Amino acid sequence: MPVRVDLHVHSHHSPDSNVPVAQLVRQARVAGLNGLALTDHNTVRGHAELIDLAAQHPDLLLVPGVEVSTIEGHLLAYGVPEAPPARRPVTETVAWIRARGGEAVPSHPFRRSHGIGRRVAGSVPVFALEAVNGHNSDRTNRAAARVVAARRLGSTGGSDAHRLADLGRAFTDLPDGARSVDDVLEALRRGTSRAGGRGASLAERAGLATRTALLRLRRGLRPI
């Protein structure tokens, strides 16, 4: 059976979420997941806690990640010990991540805000794209899936959860036997990761936008 993980999750270390890391980890099983990746905006402040939680939950695959803001749009980085420099060109950021042993996946590439867009998605030197984002419209996700097919890349899915209820809405299936961060990175490199789940309805996206705006306002409108 495939190993099912949510590869795009935000905790209270992101300016647009207030969910503790420990709550996300406890919710993973409830959501039918075998693990998750912590991908807060431009920070790895939650990594130390995630490592401690991994020791407490050896049955879960917990992946250190970060969602970095590049000039062109957002990029998910996995397996890096520090946050990549923000606001750099996406190709430069991909190279920075790979030089440190990690792998990069453009997040929600066709989203109007924070997506890298069609032109960059068609050429950026990565092994996978996020083809199912739990906060995108299904139409936008389908556009990403078409680029995945055209380029013969791997695909990932992530809920982009900023609250517990959204965890696992979208997910990534990894090959049977994936048990470590290195296994996740290898699946990305080999193109054997597969996106699943669903996007969000118009009403769900409107609710998310409202919650995000209010939370960011309370937390000082830090950039994402």
Q: How many CB atoms lie within 10 A of CB 88?
A: 17
- What pLDDT was estimated at residue 201? 86
- Identify the burial level of 41 via C-beta atoms within 10 angstroms of its C-beta, where 0-12 means exposed, 13-18 middle and 19 or more buried: buried
Amino acid residing at 56: Q
**Residue 94 DSSP symbol:** H
pLDDT at 217: 67
| Spatial CA neighbour of 5 closest among 142, 176, 123 | 176
- According to the model, what pLDDT value does residue 113 have? 87
The whole-number average pLDDT for the span 11-35 is: 96
Q: Are 161 and 6 in contact (CB under 8 A)?
A: yes
* Phi, then psi, of 197 in degrees rounded to 5: 100, -155
Averaged pLDDT, 170-178: 97
Decide if pLDDT at 195 tops 90.
yes
pLDDT score for 223: 65
Residue 221: its pLDDT value, please? Answer: 59
pLDDT over 90 at 202, yes or no:
no
pLDDT at 215 > cutoff 70: no
Which residue type sits at 165?
A
Give the pTM.
0.93
CB 174, CB 184: distance < 8 Å: yes
Using alpha carbons only, give the angle 29, 211, 137 rounded to the nearest 5 degrees: 70
Give per-residue pLDDT as tens, 76-131: 999 999 999 999 999 999 999 999 999 999 999 999 989 999 999 999 999 999 99
DSSP H or E run through 63: strand 61-69
pLDDT exceeds 70 at position 222: no
pLDDT for residue 208 = 72
pLDDT, the chain, mean: 94
Which of 180, 173, 212, 210 is closest to 19 using CA atoms? Answer: 212
Residue 92 identity (one-letter amino acid): E
Q: What pLDDT was estimated at residue 204? A: 81
Cα 22 to the chain's mean position, in Å?
18
Evaluate if residue 7 carries a pLDDT over 70: yes
pLDDT tens digits, one per residue of 124-172:
999 999 999 999 999 999 999 999 999 999 999 999 999 999 999 999 9
pLDDT of residue 213: 66
Would you call 199 helix, strand, or coil by DSSP? coil
Which domains, and CATH codes, for the chain?
3-218 (3.20.20.140)
A 10 A CB-CB count for 132 gives 28
Residue 32 — very low, low, confident or very high, per pLDDT cuts 50/70/90? very high
Residue 110 contacts residue 140 (beta carbons within 8 Å): yes
